[in-house]
Amino acid sequence: MIRMPPELGTALERLGDELGVLATRARNGLRYLAGDPLGEIAATPREPVWSRDKVVLYRYSKGAARMRTPVLLVMSLVTRPYVFDLRPGSSLVEDLLDAGYDVFLLDWGVPDAVESSNTLETYCDEYLPRAAQAVLHITNADRLTLFGYCFGAVLSLISAAAHPGFPVKNMVVMATPVDLSRLGPLANMLSKGRMEPEDLFDETGNVPASTMLDGFRLISPTSELSTLANLWGSLADERALAAHQALIGWANEQIPFPGAVFAQFVHLFLRRQLLMKGRIPLADREVALARIPCPVLNVLGERDTLVPPESSAPLLDALHGVELDTLTLPAGHAGLFVGREARKKCVPAIIAWLDQRD
């Protein structure tokens, strides 16, 4: 009988292990390419409780009745809101529910030609105040917490400042673009007047999702490389791959930006920088952001490349006189509330701030 040298046995064992990992990568890679869902997305049960046009207000339900101040999550206009409840175990909604808050989500829907004429007034004077009233009506609370993300934070700030009776107890604004000139090359071209907002509209009168995505990609042109490296790294681990698929899937799933409000953002906030000055013309009046009647928590991500901290920093001047706390966290744009770091540091810090004021 021939005896195998022990080194050869070890080498064969390692080769077997490597082939096993390679086979797992190949299988998972095929599943990823085929678009096979690798994990649950937006799994927390919810029900629609109010709607107006395409805007739907959802209430998340989990367990017993909640006595704490209800939280209304307000999404940006260009991305889908399911990122707030991305995956079980990596969900802001779940964390807020676990902390005892009653959680509502305002979903703007996907705009088409009908929504192309939606303006700041549509969102800040019509949808947001009415959705807030619906939350109070359903919960019997007298005030709520407004929790805005990205452009949703801008809309929340304007709406709360524009309505003296807005029933808001606290505000959390996350990754808020205030100095829009910091939002990359596309913003730069628009601010210098080389492009007009209308140049970017499609036949529906909106800025198409693909144009928004191209604009974001220009901010970090080599980010695809690290995304691909992260994908390769997570192919051997099904849980990591599911997390990657969920987050990258969301980031690539932009929605069109309603044309009229996009034009207002360009003219008012990018070219005239009125958001930085804290004075915004809305309908036939001027809204002063400094009139926000509640404490505000401004959450920034140190590694946010889409809305860098320098873009949110002028909020301090715009909200002069308002009780403003700033929380700078070691995270990127979505990493503020998605992922392991968010669960360990970011979300607990936000919940602690809310708890103090509840």
Partner 1 sequence: MATQPLWRQAVDTVDNAITPTVERVVHDETFGLVVTVLHRTRRGVGSHIERASRHVLHALNLPAGSDINRLLTQIAYVEREVRELRKLIDDQLPSP
Q: Interface residues with partner 1 (CB under 8 A)?
A: 52-53, 112-114, 116-117, 137, 184-185, 188-189, 192, 194-195, 199, 203-205, 218, 220-222, 225-226, 229, 232-233
Euclidean distance between CA atoms 81 and 62, whole angstroms: 19
Nearer to partner 1, 45 or 165 (CB): 165
State which residue, 232 or 239, has the beta carbon closest to partner 1. 232
Nearest CB to partner 1, comparing residues 148 and 259: 259
Considering the complex, what minimum distance in angstroms separates the CB of residue 167 from partner 1? 17
3-class DSSP assignment, residue 324: strand
Beta strands across the sheet bearing 46-52:
46-52, 55-60, 103-107, 71-74, 144-149, 168-174, 296-301, 324-329
Q: By C-alpha distance, which of 257, 256, 242 is closest to 338? A: 242
Min dist CB 203 to partner 1, Å, is: 4
Cβ–Cβ < 8 Å for 80, 209:
no
Q: Which is nearer to partner 1, 34 or 222 (CB)?
A: 222
Closest distance to partner 1 from the beta carbon of 53 (Å): 6
Helix/strand number for the chain, H first, E second: 15, 10
User: Closest approach of Cβ 88 to partner 1, in Å?
Assistant: 25
104 forms beta bridges with 59, 72
Query: Which residue is associated with the tokens 């309603």?
Result: 258
Provide the minimum distance between the beta carbon of 269 and partner 1 in the complex, in angstroms, as a whole number.
19
Q: Which is nearer to partner 1, 88 or 232 (CB)?
A: 232
The Cα 288–Cα 282 span in angstroms is: 10
3-state secondary structure of 268: helix
Q: How far apart are CA 110 and CA 55, in angstroms?
A: 9
283 vs 272: CA distance, rounded Å? 17
Of 307, 13, 35, nearest in space to 154 by CA? 307
CA distances from 33 to 37, 84, 237, 242 (A): 10, 25, 16, 13
Structure-block tokens of residue 60: 């998340």
The least CB distance from residue 185 to partner 1, in Å, is: 6
Q: Quick one: 10 or 226, whose CB is closer to partner 1?
A: 226
Least gap, CB of 234 to partner 1 (angstroms): 11
Q: φ, ψ for residue 147 (rounded to 5)?
A: -125, 95
Work out how close the CB of 127 gets to partner 1 at its nearest, in angstroms, rounded to a whole number: 11
The CB-of-158 to partner 1 minimum distance in angstroms stands at 21
Half-sphere exposure of 182 (CA within 13 A, CB side): 17
Q: Which is nearer to partner 1, 34 or 140 (by Cβ)?
A: 140
Nearest to 99 by CA among 356, 351, 298, 353: 351
What stretches of 13-150 adopt beta strand conformation (E)? Answer: 46-52, 55-60, 71-74, 103-107, 144-149
Q: Given the complex with partner 1, which of 21 and 30 has the nearer CB atom?
A: 21
Q: How far is the CB of 353 from partner 1 (least distance, A)?
A: 29
Choice between 138 and 349, CB closer to partner 1: 138
**Which is nearer to partner 1, 196 or 253 (by Cβ)?**
196
Query: In this structure, what token pair is assigned to residue 85?
Result: 């409840």
